[in-house]
């Protein structure tokens, strides 16, 4: 047996001439994508590229999360529960990637970040309109957030539109009602622009589905998919909070928030509160 080579021959069928063909780089517009990292530190600090790429890739994933959640809502509007859950399943995988990404940013030490943090001005992840859009679609609406995006007409319009539209959870209950489930009127007529809050009237319906899950398997599965979705968000939020604590301690955020304390409070938010509250009731003697 001969010695192994460190290279391999290009197969004869591999396309080489791209003067009139669509290339990989053109399809992905890599010239634009790879030129979008513009460090602002002077002199340019080595670790700022990590900071930029971390946040840019997060925004790309958030774009896909929003795309999938909106598609799930549309599927529910069309009473296609299976298609909606397929979209949610994809979002769950994206969430795992987003959460794991924090481990990369966590390699940024406090002294390294301090060398370019001052150049960021008031820019902050708090201002991510895509993240706010995802929260809005999941029911965590806050009309006061729109003020932050008044200087960005497109972002402001997106969030303003989502504020007045039903959330994914709203669409789900309407779907179940059309499928013949006894969804209480309070869940079908709530003010959709308001933040979603716990509705105790839903607990009996949810409990009955859990207790008779074999007869209501699709809805039972949907409940658990939503629980996974929220739990993944909480894991992402927790990892975010711990990464910030590890990097800047309890200093205020660059965007004016209280930093770690603000992120810690987010852990108290729930998109689907009844799906967690019902667990206290199930099996209660």
Q: Which CATH number covers residue 138? A: 1.20.58.480
Rg (CA), the chain: 23
- ω into residue 67 within 30 of 0, thus cis? no
Chain segment 36-74, per-residue pLDDT in tens = 999 999 999 999 999 999 999 999 999 999 999 999 999
18 labeled part of a ligand binding site: no
In a domain, 25, yes or no: no
Chain segment 61-117, per-residue pLDDT in tens = 999 999 999 999 999 999 999 999 999 999 999 999 999 999 999 999 999 999 999
Q: What percent of the chain has pLDDT over 90?
A: 90
Count of structural domains, the chain: 1
Task: Say if residues 45 and 39 touch (Cβ distance below 8 Å).
Answer: yes
216 labeled part of a ligand binding site: no
- Per the structure, the complete domain to which residue 55 belongs is given by 48-279
- How far lies 257's CA from each of 31, 127, 176, 251, 254, in Å? 35, 11, 39, 9, 7
Rounded mean pLDDT, 243-249: 95
Q: Under 8 Å CB-to-CB from 126, ≥6 apart: which residues? A: 148, 253, 255, 256, 257, 262
Task: Say if residues 60 and 101 touch (Cβ distance below 8 Å).
Answer: no
Number of C-beta neighbours around residue 3 at 10 A: 5
53 labeled part of a ligand binding site: yes
27 labeled part of a ligand binding site: no
In a domain, 141, yes or no: yes
51 labeled part of a ligand binding site: yes
Among candidate residues 159, 136, 162, 137, the one with its CA nearest the CA of residue 147 = 159
Supply the angle between the helices 203-211 and 217-248 in degrees, to the nearest 10.
Answer: 110
In a domain, 222, yes or no: yes
46 labeled part of a ligand binding site: no
279 labeled part of a ligand binding site: no
In a domain, 30, yes or no: no
CA–CA dist 273, 262 (Å, integer): 21
CA–CA dist 233, 230 (Å, integer): 5
In a domain, 2, yes or no: no
Q: Kindly tell me if the per-residue pLDDT of 267 is higher than 60.
A: yes
């Amino acid at each position: 047996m001969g010695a192994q080579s460190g290279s391999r021959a290009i197969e004869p069928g591999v396309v080489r001439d791209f003067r009139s063909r669509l290339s990989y780089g053109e399809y992905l517009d890599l010239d634009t994508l790879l030129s979008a990292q513009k460090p602002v530190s002077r002199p340019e600090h080595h670790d700022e590229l990590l900071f930029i790429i971390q946040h840019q890739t997060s925004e790309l994933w958030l774009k896909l999360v929003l795309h999938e959640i909106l598609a799930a809502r549309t599927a529910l509007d069309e009473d296609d529960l299976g298609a909606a859950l397929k979209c949610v399943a994809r979002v769950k995988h994206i969430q795992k990637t987003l959460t794991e990404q924090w481990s990369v940013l966590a390699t940024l030490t406090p002294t390294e970040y301090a060398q370019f943090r001052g150049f960021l001005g008031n820019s902050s992840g708090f201002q991510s309109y895509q993240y706010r859009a995802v929260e809005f679609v999941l029911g965590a609406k806050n009309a006061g957030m729109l003020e932050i995006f008044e200087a960005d007409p497109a972002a402001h319009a997106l969030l303003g539109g989502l504020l007045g539209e039903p959330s994914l959870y709203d669409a789900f209950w309407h779907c179940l009602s059309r499928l013949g489930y006894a969804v209480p009127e309070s869940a079908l007529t709530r003010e959709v622009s308001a933040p979603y809050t716990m509705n105790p009237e839903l607990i009996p319906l949810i409990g009955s589905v859990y207790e008779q899950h074999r007869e209501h398997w699709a809805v039972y599965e949907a409940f658990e998919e939503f629980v996974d979705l929220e739990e993944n968000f909480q894991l992402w939020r927790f990892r975010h909070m711990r990464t910030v604590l590890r990097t800047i301690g309890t200093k205020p955020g660059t965007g004016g928030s209280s930093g770690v304390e603000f992120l810690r409070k987010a852990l108290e938010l729930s998109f689907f509160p009844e799906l967690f509250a019902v667990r206290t009731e199930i099996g209660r003697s």
